[in-house]
């Protein structure tokens, strides 16, 4: 099975074709399809449809909204093999990871769907005859922008939150990996979502974001992608007084304390970094390892890293696939060469594979100096940077030294260390002794240049609502 579906846009419940740009398979570097580009009239049609869809969907009872959403999720689960195949073709990750991404996306939507039934307001105590009530209302039509690294689960986060809260959504998914979002939209259509409640478009990102964000129908902007683009979109939204949810870049520190088991930490680190070949905003990247266990950690890390199998995502034995596009390949090579030229020690990997496709091996650098570019720029690929530290103070100071603050990780058996890490690391999500930075039930998002607003958890759902206070004097 090597077919790739025709990519279309969904506007007002109808699939729309238009000329566009090729979709490239990163395993071969060859075109596998075409993604349409929305013109102004498509976007205006999507805005009108979303306004109409919102009017219907906001008045649909939460229990019924949940039923429609759960039906859509059930359809995605039934179609997991077909969707995983298309995601691996367009994005490159191994099939098992594509399946895992789809199921994670399903879980996110399921949680939102069922939690929406508990979007309670509150009644505030007041003087006799007065009643203050606070209710949560859907914010309106949402403009959502998702990147190429998670073609289904990134859209799922935004679609789940928006629809659960009673909003309508116009999703501009990635032109580089459009099939995941298209399958998601198809499942909602098949599940009976009112036309216009979920519209899907593709095209020139700058043109679409400018058109949508400045339009009065749009009441909230949510973006996942780079900090540079996020700042631009947040400024645009700010000029039009629209709230934003920004899930931006990270450069996650991993602090390995002297009381941790170095081999177990190395094993867990390699496994975590395999996910999406490190093209994840929460990917563990800067490893600050206590001098007492540094050499043992580095020996195990290097050995395990050298055994990571790089190959076509369609092959059952590939641990990581190609990176998603040529931009990543060049950037990873440049960051690696720069670090080595400044004194870093290459433990494994280091150079793109010759031939077709965008293949970059699992790469570990030790003794990376603080002024290496990779220590500041998010590598967004299978690149790990190890630094020796002599105290927890030093590790925390280095971890906090960047403008990013998305995920952080630590390995320690000490309650005192764990408390300090929880209190002092400047991140939105911290995982201790494992690498799962967020689950559906907990909020996910960053601090500092990694963004603001949350997805997931009750905090995430609330971002798609506003609080209305009703004060009623009855006597």
Residues in contact with ligand NAD by the rule CB under 6 A: 145, 147-149, 174, 205-206, 209, 224-226, 228-229, 232-233, 247-249, 281, 327, 378, 380
The DSSP secondary structure of 224-264, one letter per residue, reads ES-HHHHHHHHHHHHHTT--EEEE----EEEEE-TTS-HHH
Residue (68 or 323) nearer to ligand NAD, CB: 323
Residue (233 or 368) nearer to ligand NAD, CB: 233
Contact criterion met (CB below 8 Å) for 450 and 253: no
DSSP state letter for 265: H
Q: Minimal distance in Å, beta carbon 442 to ligand NAD?
A: 17
Residue (50 or 208) nearer to ligand NAD, CB: 208
DSSP state letter for 278: G
HSE, side-chain direction, 13 A CA sphere, residue 182: 27
The number of helix segments (H) and strand segments (E) in the chain equals: 14, 19
Q: Minimal distance in Å, beta carbon 372 to ligand NAD?
A: 16
The catalytic position among 247, 258, 426, 455 is 247
Q: Minimal distance in Å, beta carbon 281 to ligand NAD?
A: 3
Q: Minimal distance in Å, beta carbon 393 to ligand NAD?
A: 28
Residue (153 or 412) nearer to ligand NAD, CB: 153
Residue (166 or 405) nearer to ligand NAD, CB: 405
Task: Assign 52 to helix, strand or coil.
Answer: helix
The catalytic position among 167, 257, 281, 384 is 281
Q: Which long-range contacts (CB under 8 A, 24 or more apart) does 411-416 make?
A: 411/254, 411/255, 411/256, 411/257, 411/260, 411/261, 411/264, 411/265, 411/268, 412/255, 412/257, 412/259, 412/260, 413/259, 413/260, 414/257, 414/259
Active site residue 81: no
- Name every residue whose Cβ is closer than 8 Å to that of residue 313 and which is 6 or more positions away in sequence: 27, 88, 91, 92, 93, 94, 95, 97, 98, 321, 322
Q: Minimal distance in Å, beta carbon 53 to ligand NAD?
A: 22
Residue (145 or 360) nearer to ligand NAD, CB: 145
CA distance 107 to 195: 24
Residue (325 or 465) nearer to ligand NAD, CB: 325
- Name every residue whose Cβ is closer than 8 Å to that of residue 81 and which is 6 or more positions away in sequence: 99
Contact criterion met (CB below 8 Å) for 275 and 407: no
Q: Which pair of structure tokens corresponds to residue 249?
A: 């870049």
Contact criterion met (CB below 8 Å) for 178 and 87: no
Residue (148 or 188) nearer to ligand NAD, CB: 148
Q: Minimal distance in Å, beta carbon 267 to ligand NAD?
A: 25
Q: Which pair of structure tokens corresponds to residue 305?
A: 């890293």
Q: Which pair of structure tokens corresponds to residue 136?
A: 């949560």
* DSSP β-bridge partners for residue 123: 133
Active site residue 82: no
CA distance 280 to 316: 22
CA distance 282 to 92: 19
Q: Which pair of structure tokens corresponds to residue 20?
A: 């566009």
Q: Minimal distance in Å, beta carbon 377 to ligand NAD?
A: 8
**Max Cα-Cα span within the chain:** 81
Q: Which pair of structure tokens corresponds to residue 194?
A: 């009112």
Q: Minimal distance in Å, beta carbon 165 to ligand NAD?
A: 22
Residue (119 or 324) nearer to ligand NAD, CB: 324
Q: Minimal distance in Å, beta carbon 205 to ligand NAD?
A: 3
Q: Which residues are catalytic?
A: 247, 281
């Amino acid at each position: 099975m090597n077919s790739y579906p025709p990519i279309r846009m969904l506007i007002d419940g109808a699939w729309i074709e238009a000329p566009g740009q090729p979709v490239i398979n990163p395993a071969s570097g060859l075109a596998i399809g075409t993604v349409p580009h929305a013109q102004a009239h498509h976007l205006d049609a999507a805005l009108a449809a979303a306004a109409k869809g919102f009017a219907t969907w906001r008045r649909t009872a939460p229990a019924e909204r949940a039923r429609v959403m759960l039906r859509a999720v059930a359809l995605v689960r039934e179609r997991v093999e077909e969707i995983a195949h298309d995601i691996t073709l367009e994005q490159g990750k191994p099939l098992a990871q594509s399946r895992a991404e789809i199921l994670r996306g399903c879980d996110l939507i399921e949680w939102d769907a069922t939690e929406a039934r508990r979007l309670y307001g509150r009644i505030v105590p007041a003087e006799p005859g007065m009643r203050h009530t606070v209710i949560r209302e859907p914010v309106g039509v949402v403009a959502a922008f998702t990147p190429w690294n998670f073609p289904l689960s990134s859209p799922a986060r935004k679609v789940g939150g928006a629809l659960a809260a009673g909003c309508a959504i116009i999703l501009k998914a990635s032109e580089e990996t459009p099939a995941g979002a298209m399958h998601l939209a198809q499942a909602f259509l098949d599940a009976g979502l009112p036309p216009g409640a979920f519209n899907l478009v593709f095209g020139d990102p700058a043109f679409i974001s400018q058109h949508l964000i400045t339009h009065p129908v749009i009441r909230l902007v949510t973006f996942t992608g780079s900090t540079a683009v996020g700042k631009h979109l947040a400024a645009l939204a700010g000029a039009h007084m629209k709230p934003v949810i920004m899930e931006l870049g990270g450069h996650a520190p991993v602090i390995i304390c002297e009381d941790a088991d170095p081999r177990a930490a190395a094993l867990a680190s390699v496994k975590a970094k395999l996910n999406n070949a490190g093209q994840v905003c929460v990917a563990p990247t800067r490893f600050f390892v206590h001098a007492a266990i540094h050499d043992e950690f580095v020996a195990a890390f290097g050995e395990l890293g050298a055994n990571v199998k790089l190959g076509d995502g369609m092959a059952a034995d590939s641990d990581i696939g190609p990176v998603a596009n040529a931009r990543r390949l060049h950037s990873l090579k440049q960051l690696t060469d720069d670090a080595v030229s400044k004194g870093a020690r290459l433990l494994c990997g280091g150079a793109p594979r010759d031939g077709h496709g965008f293949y970059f091996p699992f790469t570990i650098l030790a003794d990376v100096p603080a002024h290496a570019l990779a220590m500041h720029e998010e590598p967004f690929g299978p690149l790990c940077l190890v630094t020796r530290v002599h105290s927890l103070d030093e590790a925390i100071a280095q971890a906090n030294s960047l403008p990013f603050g998305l995920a952080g990780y630590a390995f320690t058996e000490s309650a005192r260390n764990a408390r300090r890490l929880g209190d002092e690391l400047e991140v939105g999500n911290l995982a201790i002794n494992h690498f799962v930075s967020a689950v559906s039930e907990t909020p996910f998002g960053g601090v500092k240049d990694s963004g603001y607003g949350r997805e997931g958890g009750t905090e995430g759902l609330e971002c798609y609502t506003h609080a209305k206070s009703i004060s009623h004097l009855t006597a």
